[in-house]
Every structure is written in structure tokens, then in C-alpha cells.
Amino acid sequence: MGGGGVLVHNYSDIQLIEIIVKQNQWLQTIDGSVFFAAILYSDADVSLRAYIRENFSEMHRMSGFRNIFMVIEKPPVSWHAEVVNYLSRLSGRYFNTLWERIGDDLYRPYDRTKVYEIAKIFGLSPKQLPCIVIFSELKNRRYLAVEINEYVGVSDRNTEGYSHFFRNLFTHMNEVIDANTQFDDPLQELQKVIAEDNNRRHSGVKPQLISLAFTIIQTIAQAIQTVVILGPK
């Protein structure tokens, strides 16, 4: 199957994508290791949004084999075949369930300010956007927050600058997840790799590792959601 890009509209969509991916037999062939990356931005982030909309297919391919990134977008008609094809491979036998939940919604008007609600759930403030939230499992409530504007300067917020940023990030993510069995904490290792890369470029920027407290109620809710979406085993 491999990694790639998925379109979402809210946090529930992110939860659904993670649950369905974890059920895919493809994961069993790669020891179950994968990184998810939610790219959070709003209409105010004009250059970044333009880059993603114009280069979604390239990002889809550059993301690598084990990285699944998510963006809040209404896809143009030209994306339809690629979106459907990838969602089908991503979800396998759960494609109909997934498409019933998010397929039609992708082409309806939606509230882009939802990004702030999603950011809050991930423990982020509005000033940290645009941001990429990287995680392995939502239930762990541990995320790596990469604030994009800390890595892409004002003069580099163009196609070349964003391409350089995403290529580097996806490369680091692939390197860490490919060597996952060597690390006790892949997220912490990814934080270290990104920081070292930036130190070589004399920027000194380090992504934030976020660990949020969770309650037994949230754990039970996650289990209930899995059963509701996929049905009992």
C-alpha cells in the first residue's frame, strides 16, 4: 500500500483513518510501524495552502512508504481518481465504511476554522500554526509538533522552499520509522534527528514533544469507537 496523503475535515476523521489503517494487513508486512502526520493550517496561511493544493500529488509520492499525512482540504475534481484509489488501498475491506463516513463530505462546503479545534485537541495554541503533528498512536496522546514557520523563513515560503522542507521532513520520518525496532521511542528519535539536521544549518530549532494526560473514560471511548466503526471482532 505505502504512505501518502489523505483529506480530512475534523478530528473524528483523523481518528477514523488511524483506526482503519491499523486494521490493514499491509501493516503486518512492515512490523506494524507507521507515522501519521496531520498538517494543520488555515486560509490565513496563503502560501502554504497554495503549495499543498498545487503539489498534493507530489507530496503524496514524496511522503514515502510508511508516512501517512492528512490535510484539511476540499479536493478539486482533478484529485478525485487519486483520492478514491488511495483510500481504497488504505482501507482495504473497510473502504465502504470509510467512504460512507468521509467520501461525500470531502466535496461539500466545510468550516476551515475547525483546524483550531483540532490543534487544541493536540495541545497546540493558535500561534503555533501552521504546524505538523506527528504521531504513531492517538491513544498514547504523545505527539511531535513541528511548527512550519520555524523551519521555512518568510523569503522561502514558495514552491522551492516548501518542497525542500517537506522532502527533508519525510526523509527523516522514513529513516526513523524504517529503523523503528532500534529505538525505544521513535517520536523522541525523530525529534532528535530533526534538531540535529537544523543544528547543522545553524537554525537551532527543535520540534516540541507533547505528552497529554488521558483518562480511563477517553480510553474506553476509543475502544467503543473502534467497535462502532468496524464492528465487533
Number of independent structural domains in the chain: 1
Residue type, 174: N
Instruction: Kindly report whether the global pTM for this prediction surpasses the value 0.85.
Output: no
Task: Lowest mean pLDDT of 62-76, 111-125, 209-223, name the range.
Answer: 209-223
**Radius of gyration for the alpha carbons in the chain, expressed in angstroms and rounded:** 17
What residues pair up with 206 in beta bridges, in sequence order? none
pLDDT at 226: 40
Structural domain containing residue 116: 4-230
Compute the distance between CA of residue 213 and CA of residue 35 in angstroms, rounded to an integer.
21
The average confidence (pLDDT) of the chain is: 78
Residue 148 cell numbers, joined? 512550519
First-last CA distance in the chain: 23
**What is the β-pairing status of strands 67-72 and 35-40?**
parallel
Q: How confident is the model at residue 135 (pLDDT cuts 50, 70, 90)?
A: very high
